[in-house]
Amino acid sequence: MSMQASSPPASTPLTLESPGARAWRRLKARPSALVALGVIVLLIAMAVFAPLIAPYDPIKQNYLLVRKAPSWLHWMGTDEVGRDLLARVIWGARASLSAGVISVGIALLIGVPLGLIAGYRGGWTDALISRFTDAMLACPFLILAIALAAFLGPSLGNAMIAIGITATPIFVRLTRGQTLAIKTEDYIEAARAVGNPVHRIALRHILPNVLPSLLVQATLTVATAIIAEASLSFLGLGQQPPLPSWGSMLNAAQRFLTNAPWMAVWPGLAIFVSVICFNLLGDGLRDALDPRSK
């Protein structure tokens, strides 16, 4: 798994149409991104309303229905202790989606300020932050996440923190690059000349310009984070039983590949669909927010 920074050039603020409205207009012109957005909204609704939608209790075991193939009663079949897989896939959306979104939130919270400081201050501060970021990027992503998750102790929340920290360097790098490009612009120089304090310049003037590319990167990183959560749960370091997550369902399914293959198919498909939608949305946003395109 690699994380590639993708940065559209910083937008210039001088247009008649507001940037948000223009972006929405452009996004609407991309049906694939709209469909993806729709599916994401549906997935989120599924996660939020899981107790209402799920046909069964996701942790209710039934020893008479162990590893039964999909049927009219259990559309996706049952798992190794006779729980309904459809219910578990629906409930699993909670773990996977929140892991994706919250871990990226953590990465943004740590990464953006560091990137702003590095880009704005320059000098030793920049060198220190940048070299450390490089070092983190050079270490294998999953190994870092495994070590962090094991250190914090196994739980979904800790897995999110581990993924968030591991995903931070990419946002540091992106923010720093954009800050470097913008800080010599006239209006920033002007704001500085007027005597605005540093944090105000950073928040009021630089951040809004970095925001579009951050939004794009964040959307794409949610996709990566969902896979990362699945990988950690697959290794037993994420969601704790009996509550489901798609990754831990796959972990359980691996033993029954030959005699209950359906156990592996559904959670895998669920991960795939949500990841592809976040990727499509990210692509759409990138095009919509790129000031060079029309």
Partner 1 sequence: MFTLISKRLIQLLPTVFFVSVIIFSLQHLLPGDPAMIMAGEDNDPAVIAQIRAQYHLDQPIPVQYLFWIKGVLSGNLGESMRLKVAVSELVTTKLPVTLQLAVMAMIIALVIGVGLGILSAVYKGRALDSLVNVLGLIGISTPNFWLGIMLIFLFSVELGWLPASGYVSPFEDFWQSMRTTIMPAFVLGNAIAGVLMRHTRGAMLQALSSDYVRTARAKGLLERVVVIKHAMRNALTPVITLGALEFGTLLSGAVLTEQIFTIPGFGKLIVDAVFNRDYAVVQGVVLVTASTYILLNLLADIGYILVNPRLRD
Partner 2 sequence: MTPNWKTLLLTGCLVASAGLFGMGAASAQTNFKIGLAEDPDVLDPSLARSYVGRIVFASLCDKLFDIDDKLNIVPQLALSSTVSADGKEMVIKLRPDVKFHDGEPMDAEAVRFSLDRHLNMPGSFRKPELGAVSEIVVVDPLTVKLVLKSPFSPLLAQLTDRAGMIVSPKAAKEAGDKFGQKPVCAGPFKFVERIQQDRIVLEKFADYWNKANIHFDKVTFTPIADSTVRLANLRSGQLDLIERTPATDIKEIKANPKLRLSSVVSLAYTGITMNIANKEAGKTGLGLDPRVRQALNFAIDRSAINEVVFNGEFMPGNQWINPENPYYQKSFPVTGRDVNKAKELLKAAGVKTPLAIDFMVPNNPEARSVAEVIQSMAAEAGFDFKIRVTEFATSLTQAEQGNYQAYLLNWSGRTDPDGNSYSFHACGQPLNYTGYCNKDVDALLAEARSKNGVAERKPVYEKITKIMQEEGGVLYLYHSKVLVAHSDKLDGYKQLADGLIRLTGAKLK
Contacting positions for partner 1 (CB under 8 A): 1-2, 4, 127, 131-132, 134-136, 138-144, 146-148, 150-151, 153, 223, 227, 230-231, 234, 250, 253-254, 257-258, 261, 264-265, 268, 271-272, 275-276, 279-280, 283
Site string for partner 2, 13-42 (x = CB under 8 A): ------------------------------
CA 9/CA 97 separation, integer angstroms: 29
Nearest-approach distance from CB 79 to partner 2, in angstroms? 9
Spatial neighbors of 215 by CB under 8 A, at least 6 apart, are 285, 289
Question: Please, are residues 223 and 214 in contact by the beta-carbon 8 Å criterion?
Answer: no
Residues 281 and 218 sit within 8 Å (Cβ to Cβ): no
Shortest distance (Å) from residue 220 CB to partner 1: 9
Distance CA 59, CA 56 (A): 9
Asked if 240 touches partner 2 (CB under 8 A), the answer is yes
Residue nearer to partner 2 on the CB measure, 12 or 254: 254
The answer to whether the bond into 242 is cis (omega within 30° of 0) is yes
Given a contact cutoff of 8 angstroms between Cβ atoms, the answer to whether 249 and 263 are in contact is: yes
Scanning 29-37, 105-113, 202-210, 230-238 for contacts with partner 2 by CB under 8 A, the matching segment is: 230-238
Q: Does the protein bind partner 2 through residue 157 (CB under 8 A)?
A: no
Residue 270 binding: pick among partner 1, partner 2, none (C-beta 5-8 Å cut-off by kind): none
Which residues contact residue 207 at a Cβ distance below 8 angstroms, ignoring those fewer than 6 apart? 112, 116
Tokens of 121: 């201050």
Instruction: Tell me which residues in 112-131 interact with partner 2 (CB under 8 A).
Output: none
Q: Are 204 and 83 contacting, i.e. CB atoms less than 8 angstroms apart?
A: no
Which helix (H) or strand (E) segment holds residue 64: the answer is: none
Residue 1 to residues 39, 170, 228, 276: CA-CA distances in angstroms?
24, 13, 8, 15
Is position 184 an interface residue for partner 2 (rule: CB under 8 A)? no
- Which listed residue (127, 257, 269, 276) binds partner 2 by CB under 8 A? 257
When asked if residue 61 is in the footprint of partner 2 (CB under 8 A), the reply is yes
Residue with tokens 């999953």: 142
Q: How far is the CB of 65 from partner 2 (least distance, A)?
A: 10
Rule CB under 8 A: say whether 143 interacts with partner 2.
Answer: no
Asked if 264 and 88 touch (Cβ cutoff 8 Å), the reply is no
Question: Taking the complex as a whole, how short is the minimal distance between the CB of residue 134 and partner 1, in angstroms?
Answer: 4
182 CA to centre of own chain: 26
Binding flag, residue 242, partner 2 (CB under 8 A): yes
Per-position x/- string for 41-60, each x denoting binding to partner 2 as judged by CB under 8 A, each - no binding: ------------------x-
Question: Which range in 8-16, 170-178, 216-224, 239-247 contacts partner 2 by CB under 8 A?
Answer: 239-247
Coil vs helix vs strand at 251: helix
Query: Residues interacting with partner 2, by CB under 8 A?
Result: 59, 61, 63, 66, 80-82, 150, 153-154, 235-237, 240-242, 251-252, 254-259
